Amino acid sequence: DTAVSQTPKYLVTQMGNDKSIKCEQNLGHDTMYWYKQDSKKFLKIMFSYNNKELIINETVPNRFSPKSPDKAHLNLHINSLELGDSAVYFCASSHWGSGELFFGEGSRLTVL
């Protein structure tokens, strides 16, 4: 009965490949986010969506493309992976306007 679930949990791939991370929430929230956590645990917002509409798009390379097929899903596709993309990617969700975010367990991406 996981509230925010991400797949896969671990992803090891070669430079130049394309990969996707999927996220689903069953909390009935209308807002979803992607955060990147680097090796020093620093968390930075990448994107936020409300009702499938992109709200925040921080200074993220356009190799990263989020897609929200419906309110409960927010996927992240990454093209032409680079070494610097190695990180843990967290999906989160909330009600619109709330600072209480519910996080998934994270997807650890390692680019070799």
Binding-site ranges for another protein (CB under 8 A) = 4, 31, 33, 35, 40-45, 48-50, 55-56, 90, 92, 96-97, 99-106
* DSSP code, position 36: E
Closest approach of Cβ 5 to another protein, in Å? 10
**In contact, 66 and 50? CB cutoff 8 Å:** no
Identity of the residue numbered 88: V
**In contact, 91 and 34? CB cutoff 8 Å:** yes
Closer to another protein by Cβ: residue 13 or 103: 103
**In contact, 8 and 88? CB cutoff 8 Å:** no
Closer to another protein by Cβ: residue 46 or 111: 46
Closer to another protein by Cβ: residue 58 or 82: 58
* Chain centroid offset of residue 37 CA: 10
Closest approach of Cβ 69 to another protein, in Å? 17
Closest approach of Cβ 42 to another protein, in Å? 5
Closest approach of Cβ 44 to another protein, in Å? 8
Gyration radius of the chain over CA positions: 13
